[in-house]
Structure 1
Amino acid sequence: MHQAILFTLALLTFSTTASAQQIHRLAFANAKEMHNYFKVNVGAPIISGHRGTKEAGMPENSIAAMEHVLKHTQAIFEVDPRLTKDSVAVMHHDARLDRTTTGSGLLREHLFADLKDIRLKDAAGHTTNDAINTLDDMIAWAKGKTILNLDKKDLPLAMTAAILAKYQAYAWVWVTVHNVDEARFFLESHPEQFISMHIKSKEALADFVAADLPIDRMIVYIGSEFQESNTAVHRFFTQKGVMCMISTAPTYDKLTDTADRAKHYRAVFDDGASILESDLPIEVSKALVD
């Protein structure tokens, strides 16, 4: 059995929902417990569902997609909050509605009430029964089940911080940051806020080191595959116990052969990543125990 994936067998926990459906949960009593779990050689290797999943006809950025994944494997999820015209935070990746919903036009030009009859589409363009979820609903749903990693779209940093403060969601919601200024804002906004920071090159690493920011509340996204440009980044952070994440959504997920994808998923962990983010998290989990 592939040694990097023994976490799937050893650490998965199960609980029963009201519908009697068993799911895999990742839950923490408090933010400190969560922070301690997501460290190299402490927390197990982690699967992250990119926008939830696009498997099994599930619509991206939906509670339904995440629930489906958790029926099969423990996972965390990268998701995308955006604002409606009346400043309601809803879960949608694109600026436009057309690709992933039955609506059209810019999301930012629609009132929240305008979205009530819109339905989400799956990756093949088929209409589902699922409506667009609000960020509030998703945060409430995720508590005690998983970790949400909020990517940066058009929500002002202060609004995101205020929403997290409202729910005191520091034990189960992260924020993605793309530069040291965004990182500084969140790390200083609340002592328990956890971040997922993009640092993909030696130059970006130098900027981070120069900023002298705390390093005990973060994971680092280093790119879509291991390469020469991010080797120093990976070495620097893993030596300090900080988990590094590879996203295979733009790379290995697009390979046409299932066995070939599985080989690359296993290699990501063998090469030293602690977190693998994928559009196909269920497939990744299966690849790791084959």
Structure 2
Amino acid sequence: MTFQLRVLLVLAPILLPLRSSISQESAPTTTPLHRIVPQTPAELRELFRYTATRLPIVSAHRGGAGPGYPENCIATFEHTLAETFSMLEIDPRMTRDGHVVLHHDATLDRTTTGTGKLADKTLAELKQLRLKDSEGNVTDYQIPTLDEALRWAKGKTILVLDQKDVPLETRVGKISQHKAEAYAMMIVGSFKDVVACHRLNRDIMMEVMIPSHAKVQAFDALGVPWQNVIAFLGHVPPTDPSLYEAVHQKGASTMIGTSRNLDRVFHRRVRDAPDSLRRDYQMILGRGADVIETDLPREIGRLLYAPLSKSPLGHRLLRVE
């Protein structure tokens, strides 16, 4: 069975009944989680090695915020995994006293009860604040540290660490300290940093922007194994299937983003034009995308994975428990 046909079979029955019910969702601690469970760096590389029968994977942008659930918050991570298999993209930042916490913006105003620059605050000061959800409502949740997130993630999912203001060496050091190479990756912004990261720890996988055939060739010249990367092809999904194929020929998976395009019209279109929306997501997968980074991991996860826990399409590194 071709991958495209398999995707059509997986997606066809899912989107029609799909509706926006995020405000009614909850994730009590007793809820089984949709776990992605590589135990070694080699198993993580295996998960993202391109094969003709690979499974599409969702990556939750900032963890998958929603009503009642803030960005970059461990309770939100649990809420996402209660509904779907998902990697979690997170945003490390440095405090004034040298700790690493999770927070997207350089300032505190939008997503916390605090004000001003995060980098001007100590960890103790930040822990006095409370996080706001996606609608700006104050919750009981605190800003987590990267250490807390790494301890939580083991045996549950894969964290994808963005850079923000945290030096590459610090992020590598945190992953190494926690022996988290099997379940934590890094977004690396330049080919120079790709080489530096691989030199510091050869077991760390990276998400690397490779948006053109020229960049595929340039990465090839670095000497860093393709098995150590997922190629991010762009926030606007490329329409040229040959770019996806060029990465696949190297044995690597591709990632695209829908947070700046399809996600923004999802709820309207799922109501008004569900067939059209389904075709657009199918088209992205059909071109060759393997990982979809999205602000709507639960909705897109249901679209991709709803039958998976009861289907032979399941992967040994994905389980519900």
Task: Output the TM-score relative to the length of structure 2.
Answer: 0.81
Q: State how far apart, in whole Å, the 1-side matches of 2:179 and 2:291 are.
A: 25
The reply to whether residue 157 of structure 1 matches residue 173 of structure 2 is: no
Q: 1:238 to 1:91 in 2, by over 3 A?
A: same
User: Counterpart of 1:157 in structure 2: which amino acid?
Assistant: L
Partner of 2:236: 225
- Structure 1 unaligned blocks of 5 or more: 9-16
Q: From 22, 29, 38, give the equivalent of 1:28.
A: 38
The reply to whether residue 129 of structure 1 matches residue 140 of structure 2 is: yes
Give secondary structure in 2 for the equivalent of 1:57.
coil
User: Counterpart of 1:238 in structure 2: which amino acid?
Assistant: H
Q: State how far apart, in whole Å, the 2-side matches of 1:224 and 1:120 are.
A: 27
Partner of 1:70: 81
Q: 147-156 or 199-208, which moves further after superposition?
A: 199-208
Q: State how far apart, in whole Å, the 1-side matches of 2:224 and 2:29 are.
A: 44
Question: What is the root-mean-square deviation of aligned Cα atoms in Å?
Answer: 2.3
Give secondary structure in 2 for the equivalent of 1:211.
coil
Partner of 2:254: 244
- Structure 2 unaligned blocks of 5 or more: 12-26, 308-321
Partner of 1:234: 244
Q: How does 1:1-290 map to 2 (within 5 A)?
A: 3-4=6-7, 19-41=29-51, 43-227=54-238, 232-255=242-265, 256-258=268-270, 259=274, 261-288=277-304, 289=306
Q: State how far apart, in whole Å, the 2-side matches of 1:6 and 1:28 are.
A: 26
Task: Quote how far apart the aligned CAs of 1:253 are.
Answer: 0.7
Q: 81-90 or 201-210, which moves further after superposition?
A: 201-210
- 8 A contact 2:131–2:143 mirrored in 1: yes
Q: 1:187 to 1:89 in 2, by over 3 A?
A: same
Q: State how far apart, in whole Å, the 1-side matches of 2:86 and 2:64 are.
A: 11
Q: State how far apart, in whole Å, the 1-side matches of 2:35 and 2:90 are.
A: 18
Give secondary structure in 2 for the equivalent of 1:77.
strand
- 8 A contact 2:86–2:301 mirrored in 1: no
Q: State how far apart, in whole Å, the 2-side matches of 1:51 and 1:278 are.
A: 9
Task: Output the TM-score relative to the length of structure 1.
Answer: 0.89
- 8 A contact 1:58–1:122 mirrored in 2: yes
User: Counterpart of 1:268 in structure 2: which amino acid?
Assistant: I
Partner of 1:14: none
Give secondary structure in 1 for the equivalent of 2:247.
helix
Deviations 1:217-275 (A, max 9, x none): 111110123335x6554222111221100110111111132235444333221221000
How many residues align? The count is 281
- 8 A contact 1:187–1:214 mirrored in 2: no
Deviations 1:49-88 (A, max 9, x none): 0111123431111111110011111111111100011111
Deviations 1:64-117 (A, max 9, x none): 111001111111111110001111100001111111111111100111111122
Q: State how far apart, in whole Å, the 2-side matches of 1:263 and 1:118 are.
A: 43
Deviations 1:8-32 (A, max 9, x none): 9xxxxxxxx9943211111122111
Specify which structure has the bigger relative contact order, considering alpha-carbon pairs within 8 angstroms and separated by 6 or more residues. 2
